[in-house]
Amino acid sequence: MTSELEKARGSRASLIPWGRIPWWVVIISILGVFVGYSVLTSETYLTVISFVMDGVKLTLQTTVVAFALALVLGLLGGLGRVSKNPVLYAIATLYVEVIRGLPMLVIILYAGFVIGPGIRDATGGALNPPMLQRAIIGLGFGYGAYLTEVYRAGIQSIHRGQMEAARSLGMTYFQAMRYIVLPQAFRVILPPLVNDLSALLKDTSLISVIALSDLLQMGRLYVSRTFRAFEGYNTVALLYLVMTMILSSLSRVLERRMKIAE
Amino acid sequence: MLNNEPIIQIRDVHKHFGHVHAVRGVSLDVHPAEVVVIIGPSGSGKSTLLRCINRLETADSGTIVVDGFPVTDPATDINEVRAEVGMVFQLFNLFPHLTALGNVVLAQRVVRKRSREEAEAIAVEQLTKVGIPEKAHAYPGQLSGGQQQRVAIARALAMQPKIMMFDEPTSALDPEMIKEVLDVMLELASEGMTMVVVSHEMGFVKAAADRIVFMDEGEVIETTTPEGLFTAPKHERTRLFLSKILH
Which residues in chain B touch residue A172, judged by CB atoms under 8 angstroms apart? 79
Show which of B143, B160, B177 is a domain's final residue.
B160
Show which of B131, B160, B189 is a domain's final residue.
B160
List the CATH number of the domain containing B209: 3.40.50.300
Under an 8 A CB cutoff, do B110 and A168 touch? no
Residue with the bigger pLDDT between A126 and A65: it is: A65
Burial of B63 (0-12, 13-18, 19+ CB in 10 A): middle
Triad B88, B89, B94: Cα angle to 5°? 85
Q: What is the 3-state secondary structure (H, E, C) of chain B?
A: CCCCCCCEEEEEEEEEECCEEEEEEEEEEECCCCEEEEECCCCCCHHHHHHHHCCCCCCCEEEEEECCEECCCCCCCHHHHHCCEEEECCCCCCCCCCCHHHHHHHHHHHCCCCCHHHHHHHHHHHHHHCCCHHHCCCCHHHCCHHHHHHHHHHHHHCCCCCEEEEECCCCCCCHHHHHHHHHHHHHHHHCCCEEEEECCCHHHHHHHCCEEEEEECCEEEEEECHHHHHHCCCCHHHHHHHHHHCC
Percent of chain B with pLDDT over 90: 85
Instruction: Give yes or no for residue A11 having a pLDDT over 70.
Output: no
Is B175 in the same domain as B132? no
Residue with the bigger pLDDT between A262 and A134: it is: A134
Q: Does A165 touch chain B (CB under 8 A)?
A: yes
Under an 8 A CB cutoff, do B94 and A179 touch? no
Under an 8 A CB cutoff, do A165 and B93 touch? yes
Burial of B187 (0-12, 13-18, 19+ CB in 10 A): middle
Is B115 in the same domain as B129? yes
Q: How far is CA A8 from the centre of its chain?
A: 46
Percent of chain A with pLDDT over 70: 93
Q: What does the alpha-carbon distance between residue B101 and residue A160 come to, in Å, rounded to a whole number?
A: 22
* Per-chain mean pLDDT for chain A: 90
Burial of A259 (0-12, 13-18, 19+ CB in 10 A): exposed
Which residues in chain A touch residue B83, judged by CB atoms under 8 angstroms apart? 169-170
* Sequence-ordered list of residues with C-beta below 8 angstroms from that of B102, at least 6 positions apart, any chain: B95
**pTM reported for the whole predicted model:** 0.87
Supply the pLDDT for residue A132.
94
Task: Check if the beta carbon of residue B124 is closer than 8 Å to that of residue B101.
Answer: yes
How far does the CA of residue A178 sit from the closest CA of chain B (Å)?
11
The model's confidence at residue A72, banded by pLDDT at 50, 70 and 90, is very high
CB pairs under 8 A between A and B: 58
Is B36 in the same domain as B57? yes
Q: What residue type is A9 in one-letter code? A: R
Nearest to B28 by CA among B51, B10, B50, B40: B10
Is B20 in the same domain as B76? yes
Supply the pLDDT for residue A42.
86
Under an 8 A CB cutoff, do B110 and A175 touch? yes
How far does the CA of residue A246 sit from the closest CA of chain B (Å)?
28
- Reported residue count of chain A is 262
Triad A238, A242, A244: Cα angle to 5°? 115
Longest CA pairwise span in chain B (Å): 55
Supply the pLDDT for residue B38.
96
How far does the CA of residue A188 sit from the closest CA of chain B (Å)?
12
The model's confidence at residue B247, banded by pLDDT at 50, 70 and 90, is low
Task: Check if the beta carbon of residue B100 is closer than 8 Å to that of residue B135.
Answer: yes
Q: What is the dihedral of CA B148, B149, B152, B156, to 10 degrees?
A: -160
Q: What does the alpha-carbon distance between residue A103 and residue A98 come to, in Å, rounded to a whole number?
A: 10
* Sequence-ordered list of residues with C-beta below 8 angstroms from that of A29, at least 6 positions apart, any chain: none
Q: What does the alpha-carbon distance between residue A139 and residue A63 come to, in Å, rounded to a whole number?
A: 9
Is B153 in the same domain as B197? no
* Sequence-ordered list of residues with C-beta below 8 angstroms from that of B118, at least 6 positions apart, any chain: B108
Q: What does the alpha-carbon distance between residue B238 and residue B240 come to, in Å, rounded to a whole number?
A: 5
Could you report the per-residue pLDDT of A173-226, keeping only the tens digit for each?
Answer: 999 999 999 999 998 999 899 999 999 999 999 999 998 999 999 999 999 999
Is B168 in the same domain as B80? yes
Averaged pLDDT for residues B27-49: 94
The model's confidence at residue B111, banded by pLDDT at 50, 70 and 90, is very high
Could you report the per-residue pLDDT of A25-61, keeping only the tens digit for each?
Answer: 788 888 888 888 888 888 888 999 999 999 999 999 9
Under an 8 A CB cutoff, do B79 and A171 touch? yes
User: Helix B100-110 to helix B145-157 angle, to the nearest 10 degrees?
Assistant: 20
Q: What residue type is A1 in one-letter code? A: M
Is B103 in the same domain as B3? no
Q: What residue type is A104 in one-letter code? A: M
Question: Which of A160, A168, A180, A181 should be substituted to probe chain B, the one whose Cβ sees the most B Cβ atoms within 10 Å?
Answer: A168
Task: Check if the beta carbon of residue A152 is closer than 8 Å to that of residue A84.
Answer: no
Triad B193, B182, B48: Cα angle to 5°? 70
Is B132 in the same domain as B173? no
Show which of B105, B138, B160 is a domain's final residue.
B160
Strands B219-224 and B69-70: unpaired
Query: Shortest CB distance from A171 goes to which of B86, B97, B111?
Result: B111
Which residues in chain A touch residue B105, judged by CB atoms under 8 angstroms apart? none
The model's confidence at residue A1, banded by pLDDT at 50, 70 and 90, is very low
Which residues in chain B touch residue A162, judged by CB atoms under 8 angstroms apart? 93, 95
Is B101 in the same domain as B155? yes
Beta bridge partners of A132: none
Q: How far is CA A188 from the centre of its chain?
A: 16
Under an 8 A CB cutoff, do A169 and B83 touch? yes
Q: What does the alpha-carbon distance between residue A212 and residue A234 come to, in Å, rounded to a whole number?
A: 20
Instruction: Give yes or no for residue A258 having a pLDDT over 80.
Output: no
Q: Does A190 touch chain B (CB under 8 A)?
A: no
Is B62 in the same domain as B2? yes
The model's confidence at residue B1, banded by pLDDT at 50, 70 and 90, is very low
Nearest to B35 by CA among B186, B222, B228: B186
Task: Check if the beta carbon of residue A91 is closer than 8 Å to that of residue A73.
Answer: no
CA of B110: which chain A residue's CA is closest? A171
Is B176 in the same domain as B57? yes
Is B69 in the same domain as B167? yes
Note down the domain range covering B121. Answer: 93-160
Instruction: Give yes or no for residue B12 having a pLDDT over 90.
Output: yes
Task: Check if the beta carbon of residue A115 is closer than 8 Å to that of residue A137.
Answer: yes
Q: What does the alpha-carbon distance between residue B23 and residue B220 come to, in Å, rounded to a whole number?
A: 9
Under an 8 A CB cutoff, do A165 and B54 touch? no
User: How many domains are contained in chain B?
Assistant: 2
Could you report the per-residue pLDDT of A76-89, keeping only the tens digit for each?
Answer: 999 999 999 999 99
Under an 8 A CB cutoff, do B107 and A172 touch? no
- Please name each of the domains of chain A with its CATH number: 56-261 (1.10.3720.10)
